[in-house]
Structure 1
Amino acid sequence: MSRTQPSGALSSDSDKADAVASAADSFDGFDIDARVRAAIDDIGYERPSPIQAATIPPLMNGRDVVGLAQTGTGKTAAFAVPALSRLDTSARTPQVLVLAPTRELALQVAEAFGKYAAKMPEVKVLPIYGGQSYGIQLSGLRRGAQVIVGTPGRVIDHLDKGTLDLSDLQLLVLDEADEMLTMGFAEDVERILADTPDRKQVALFSATMPAAIGRLARKYLNDPVEVTVKAETKTAANITQRYLQTSHHRKLDALTRLLEVETFDGMIIFVRTKSATEELAEKLRARGLSAVAINGDIVQAQRERTINQLKNGTIDILVATDVAARGLDVDRISHVVNYDIPHDTESYVHRIGRTGRAGRSGTALLFVSPRERHLLRSIERATKQQLEEIDLPSAEDVNAQRVARFGESITNNLASENLDMFRGLVENYARDNDVAMADIAAALALETRDGGFLMAPDPPAGQRRERGDDRERDRKPKRGGHFATYRIAVGRKHKVSPGAIVGAIANEGGLTRGDFGNISIRDDFSLVELPDDLDAETLAMLKHTRIGRHPIDIRPDMGPPRQRGGKNFGGGQGGQRGKRDHWGKRPPRVAGRSRG
């Protein structure tokens, strides 16, 4: 495919109008690969979304494209369908590279490519992102993959190591380009654009069009077609939408507490993967809840049985993936829980639409980790509705519900027709053994409920997350005794910035912006304040993190170098640096970034 250098201008107004006006009722006129068409038919796509209708034709024709569309408009299929249709499947070298700002989005896009390529077994899709072992990625690259989906930092790492060869690249996609630039990846993105073949086709997708995106498009895209599509995502007024902020490792505890204090009829809990449905359903059953998993691997007959059990009340909780819940319509579903937050607003709207049916009210609950707050904001912007934040139910709340249910069970059993028989047995035991009736009742209750009937009290309120606005929530842990100072082997001479340091460490170590204190950049090293309880596994992962081409070699800072005969020992720069105010002016906090 012959390519010319970028023209330095975006598309004409007529290009924009033609692109938006090219909506279609089906995928028939797009000349896409028959195997890709069969796969999207199996998924259940009946007609292209506006962004797909406007973007697929020019991409199939080899044009560069700038797509302005919110998350949730179907843009992944808009570039994945033409990309797969134009692949040379006989070659095993990378022909398509998709850059995504976060590891979560990279995994989502790679999974979508896999679905659209379900009828193309010779096509290999490989995600490469920070935080995953290099060994796994190197093995995948050695085996060969036509489609690479990666985060900018990890892609550059592989380019520097010579383990990723993009000399045969045909299409480069920048997904959520504005988010990448906001997260500090501008330099990485430009380097990848400049270092890949000039002949490549480029597709840039962004929710907004800031000046930086315009400059990027003018510099690197060749006479692109510009497509603008607005998402139409509305949620029903009879659905109460709430969210709970909790860390990933506390989600199961949070869900268990909510299930104890919430009054619900039927419930669907959405997770991201097939394996997660089975895992979560099993853990809920172990806690005494009637939960069943449903996913794409379940045969149709079993799926129908499970749905009928949900309808008739034999089971109360369904743990499902998006695909498995497609077309599910059960009136008694009072609650939808987004255990794993969806990466697109369209999925969110479809998920919560499973409740509030037949004129009933419904409740939608969303779990959000600190690193996922940008996805919450995307959902609120797209749906034009602010979700209400709720607190994690306390141990006192849970215990009050357990006591209330215990009392209800006594009341219900008092009406049993077998009560007289058991009353006689108890009276005989009390007479024969001279035991008080209350003691016998307590012993019988203990037989059905173990000694852990009541939860242990929560820690004092001062040790729990305080509530407040977004900045306050993201600022944890509080300063003063909760940070330790670490030394990394990159500094001013390596041209690092606070943003690059935060981005690299946050994504590799699974940290949030609240986990960073002061960052002091010296000539050949930097000092970074991180939580003082980082575990050995996290530190081991961070040990091999790179910023650009340079390993950071993170290690605890041992304090100011010792002075011997006027010379500095222990490395670093001379002079005392033990005092906090000797660091100089504190750099501004930078929002938590995910660097690949």
Structure 2
Amino acid sequence: MTQIPFSQLSLTPKIERAIGEMGFDFATPIQSEAIPLIRTGVDVIARSQTGTGKTVAFAIPAIEKVDNHEEKATIQVLILCPTRELAMQAADEIRKVARFKTGIRPVEIYGGAAIDKQCIRLRRANIVVGTPGRVMDHMRRKTLKLNNLKMVILDEADEMLNMGFKEDIETILRDTPESRQTVLFSATMPPAILKLTHEFQKDPQMIEINKDQVTLAEIEQNYLDVPHNRKKDALVALLDFHAPGKAIIFCNTKKMVDELAELLAFRNFSVESIHSDIKQSQRTSVMQGFKQGRTSILIATDIAARGIDVSDVDLVINFDIPANSEYYVHRIGRTGRAGKSGRSITLCSGNREVFSMRNIAREVKSKITRLDLPTTDEIKKVSGAKIISAMEEALQIEVKPFFSELTEQLSARGFSYQQIAAAAMQHYFERDMASAAIPHADKMDKESSSSVEKTAGKPKRKLAAYETILIDIGSSHHAAVNHIIGAIVDRTALLVSDIGKVEVFPEQTVVEIPAGRGDEIVNAMAGCKMCGKPVKTERLAGPGKKTGPKPPKSAKRG
């Protein structure tokens, strides 16, 4: 598709100026198709995957829809998002697009944040971006009134349905004026989405970006096959060899996220991590640091993946192979954005995972090439080039007399200037060369373990007192850990950090919750639906006791 400059989309001067300052010259395919169509006022269904620029695609028409000359502020645009990270991201993007336009007041509302502060901000808001559960909460409190609403936007509608928000979305839409415009963005079009569009949209116009070309077109995709107990060493070697300006590493569990963060910090990398156990304020701070370049490596779980919107990620590494092709696309879609090229590498261990990787390649219709781990000499060569570059920069700066005097003192003791320079570089850069000692993949000893694992780590987190609940939905119903956690957090007063271990079995899921709150949680979960299935929740065990059915032995742990 031919790229269309934003200057040809008839933007107002103030919005065009803001788009220019955001660094965008050309509209992505979804933007060039969606912006003109949404402006006409018709209901729209846009099928587009994460990373295609859809936030700007709906932000521009949403801002244009707002009458900013109202005497009394009313909510005119409502945007529903599946996660708090996406709500924050969308609100932030709207502020950037509207930075030169007065009277646009977006407010993000989501669980896990102080509701009284949100109530105060809602009094002046004309655009609301929120998660369905918190939007419903404000509607019940009468702090969010939608009688003057002009536009509703459902962002990542398929994921909201997967997380069990179907009934909430239906309730919200029924409480909005029939004259509203309804815009729906979704990566997939399952029957539940089609049913939603039939009920709540009027003659919707469809936009569908070629799935084979979306997100993955500009990404070089690779995989490695390394012994399981040498994956950490392989990860360090890859980071040293590729030296990315910004990289994201995805893991399947929170435990592995924490382990890798400790490992890479020990190796002297600039690294931060996010997962559901980390407080929202800290996650926000981590994301800001990553976006602004203060941190070069971010480690995350899938539940956090949809909230990551950074346009200049060079490399995505799947430390653990993703559960399916959809998760794979969501992960690697963090790179290769806004017309830039990117790279993804997935670490596989053994024939089974290699076979799974080939299945993913077939499903996403992409070529995923096998790589060999960089050799010791290749890593040394890259590291040496980095050292020379750093030294060249240092040599351009005038040396302070103190260090010149020290060099002369060493020379007087019989050391040559070459010896002094080499010793200084070794002292300064030796830790950065640590991964050069990692053996090549085909020579790795499966019985050995990472040297960092033998060092003293951080003290283990003291375990809280938990009891467990049983939910009659599992992997056979396509339920994942993020769906379970999202539904619980939305329907109860729990924060994500309150939830302990989640074990997903084929037909049921066991969840650790704070001790003493079992009855409260079970009552709150009454009538809940996940992945389109009504679910039943019951107490399984409390501290020191066991009740109810016994789950099977095998499970997916989160």
Query: Given the alignment, which residue of 480, 495, 501 partners 1:515?
Result: 501
Q: What's the counterpart of residue 256 of structure 1? A: 265
Aligned equivalents of 2:363, 2:99: Cα separation in 1: 33
1:244–1:352 Cα change, 3 Å = farther
State the 1:132 CA deviation.
2.1
Letter paired with 2:90: V
Contact conserved, 2:81 with 2:129, CA < 8 A, in 1? yes
Letter paired with 1:273: Q
1:163–1:239 Cα change, 3 Å = same
Query: Alignment partner of 2:188: what SS?
Result: coil
The yes-or-no answer on 1:530 pairing with 2:501 is no
Aligned equivalents of 2:134, 2:147: Cα separation in 1: 18
The yes-or-no answer on 1:217 pairing with 2:183 is no
Aligned equivalents of 1:114, 1:343: Cα separation in 2: 25
Unpaired runs of 5+ residues, structure 2, are 225-237, 239-247, 271-285, 299-308, 319-327, 348-358, 392-403, 416-423, 435-449, 473-478, 529-538
Aligned equivalents of 1:381, 1:512: Cα separation in 2: 36
Q: What whole-Å deviation, never above 9, does each CA across 1:146-201 have from its counterpart, x for those lacking one? A: 11111111111111122211111111111111111122221111111112222111
What TM-score does the superposition give when structure 1 sets the normalisation length? 0.52
What TM-score does the superposition give when structure 2 sets the normalisation length? 0.55
The yes-or-no answer on 1:503 pairing with 2:512 is no
The yes-or-no answer on 1:56 pairing with 2:35 is yes
Query: Given the alignment, which residue of 39, 62, 83 partners 1:83?
Result: 62
Aligned equivalents of 1:366, 1:124: Cα separation in 2: 42
Aligned equivalents of 1:501, 1:245: Cα separation in 2: 20
Contact conserved, 2:218 with 2:341, CA < 8 A, in 1? no
Q: What's the counterpart of residue 194 of structure 1? A: 174
Aligned equivalents of 1:458, 1:245: Cα separation in 2: 20
Q: What's the counterpart of residue 38 of structure 1? A: 17
Q: What whole-Å deviation, never above 9, does each CA across 1:335-365 have from its counterpart, x for those lacking one? A: 945699997866511499578xxxxxxx767
The yes-or-no answer on 1:384 pairing with 2:366 is yes
State the 1:51 CA deviation.
1.8
After TM superposition, the structure 1 = structure 2 runs for residues 87-126 of structure 1, keeping only pairs within 5 Å, are 87-91=66-70, 92-126=73-107
Letter paired with 2:335: Y
The yes-or-no answer on 1:349 pairing with 2:348 is no
The yes-or-no answer on 1:169 pairing with 2:161 is no
Aligned equivalents of 2:169, 2:133: Cα separation in 1: 9
Q: What's the counterpart of residue 183 of structure 1? A: 163
Contact conserved, 1:76 with 1:109, CA < 8 A, in 2? yes
Q: What whole-Å deviation, never above 9, does each CA across 1:217-253 have from its counterpart, x for those lacking one? A: 1111001101111253324659889774454666653
1:236–1:349 Cα change, 3 Å = closer
**Paired residue total:** 406
Letter paired with 2:262: D
Query: Alignment partner of 2:36: what SS?
Result: helix
Per mean C-alpha deviation after superposition, the further-off stretch among 499-508 and 42-51 is 499-508
Query: Which structure has the larger Rg over C-alpha atoms?
Result: 1
Letter paired with 2:217: K
After TM superposition, the structure 1 = structure 2 runs for residues 313-352 of structure 1, keeping only pairs within 5 Å, are 322=310, 336=314, 348-350=335-337
State the 1:128 CA deviation.
1.2
State the 1:137 CA deviation.
1.8
Query: Given the alignment, which residue of 268, 272, 277 partners 2:292?
Result: 277
Letter paired with 2:45: V
Query: Alignment partner of 2:4: what SS?
Result: coil
Q: What whole-Å deviation, never above 9, does each CA across 1:294-327 have from its counterpart, x for those lacking one? A: xxxxxxxxxxxxxxxxxxxxxxxxxxx957x6xx
Q: What's the counterpart of residue 274 of structure 2? A: none
Contact conserved, 2:75 with 2:146, CA < 8 A, in 1? yes
Query: Alignment partner of 2:292: what SS?
Result: helix
Q: Please tell me the root mean square deviation across aligned C-alpha atoms, in Å.
A: 6.0
Letter paired with 1:109: A
1:528–1:278 Cα change, 3 Å = same
Q: What's the counterpart of residue 474 of structure 1? A: none
Letter paired with 1:71: T
Q: What's the counterpart of residue 359 of structure 1? A: none
State the 1:120 CA deviation.
1.5
Unpaired runs of 5+ residues, structure 1, are 1-19, 262-270, 285-320, 326-334, 356-362, 368-376, 392-396, 428-443, 465-476, 492-496, 520-526, 561-577
Letter paired with 1:510: V
1:31–1:80 Cα change, 3 Å = same
1:378–1:167 Cα change, 3 Å = farther
Identity %, equivalent residues: 27
Aligned equivalents of 2:139, 2:487: Cα separation in 1: 17
1:46–1:202 Cα change, 3 Å = same
Contact conserved, 2:33 with 2:207, CA < 8 A, in 1? yes
State the 1:108 CA deviation.
1.7
Query: Given the alignment, which residue of 196, 206, 209 partners 1:226?
Result: 206
